[in-house]
Chain A
Amino acid sequence: QSVLTQPPSASGTPGQRVTISCSGSSSNIGSNTVNWYQQLPGTAPKLLIYSNNQRPSGVPDRFSGSKSGTSASLAISGLQSEDEADYYCAAWDNSLNVYVVFGGGTKLTVL
C-alpha cells in the first residue's frame, strides 16, 4: 500500500494528451513539492518533473506538472510511442524529517 495514490494504468493514442493523478495528504503533498519520475523497463527511474512543475534540462516541454492542495497531476501532450513507461509521483513527508514517499506507479500504454 503506497502512501501516495496513483491510478494503476492510463492509456492514449499518439498525439493525444493524457494526465496522471497523484493524491496524498497534508504531511506530504500538502506541505512539500511533488516530483515525477519516468521508468522504462529494466532501467532506473528518470527525473521528469521536480518542484511541482519544473523540468530538468533535456526533458521535453510535452511533459508538465501541477499541484493543488494534497493532489498533483502529470500531463503528457503530443503522446509518443516512446512515452510508454511507468510513471511515479514522489514527495517528502514531514511525519519523519527526511522521508520520501512514492505513489504506486501508473503504467502508461500508448495504443
Chain B
Amino acid sequence: QLQLQESGPGLVKPSETLSLTCTVSGGSISSSGYNWGWIRQPPGKGLEWIGSVYYTGSTNYNPSLKSRVTISVDTSKNQLSLKLSSVTAADTAVYFCARLSEILRVTDYWGQGTLVTVSA
C-alpha cells in the first residue's frame, strides 16, 4: 500500500523559507505516469494546489505561488521536497503531499498533512 509522509518544521518565521519533505513508501517515486505534488489548506479554509514534479525533475506550479515555490524530487531517497520562500502569516496551513495519476487525472494518494505556522 502506497504511503506518503510529510516532515519538516512546524514553525517558520516571517520572511524565511518553509521547507518540507515527503517520503514515499510502498511504491517508487520514479514510476512513469505519476506526478507528485503539494497541496495546502489554511485553517478552516479550502484546498489550494501548490505544484507538482515528475521524477525527471519537470515541474508545474500554481501561477499565484510560482515566484516563491520550488518543488524537487530525490529518486535515490524516494522523496519530494517543497520550498516556499518569503513566507507570511497567510502561508500558515496544513501542507499535504500527494500522488497524481496522469492517465486518470486524479490525485489519488495523500499524506496525512503537516501543520506549518508562520509566526515570529
Contacts and interface: CB of A to CB of B under 8 A. Distances in A.
A99 B107 contact: no
Contacts of A96: 60, 63
Size range of the interface on B? 20 to 34
Interface string B99-117: 0101011111011110000
Secondary structure of the B side of the interface? Answer: strand
Contact of A43 (B62, B100, B112): B112
Given A45-B47, A88-B47, A105-B47, A100 B108 contact: no
Interface of B: 35, 37, 39, 46-49, 52, 60, 62-63, 96, 100, 102, 104-108, 110-113
A54 B111 CA distance: 22
B11 to A, nearest CB: 19
A49 to B, nearest CB: 9
B18 to A, nearest CB: 19
Interface string A6-19: 00000000000000
A100 B112 contact: no
Given A96-B60, A105-B46, A47 B111 contact: no
Given A43-B112, A47-B107, A102 B60 contact: no
Contacts of B60: 96-99
A51 interface: yes
Give the most central of B39, B46, B52: most A CB within 10 Å: B46
A8 B18 CA distance: 30
A50 B47 contact: no
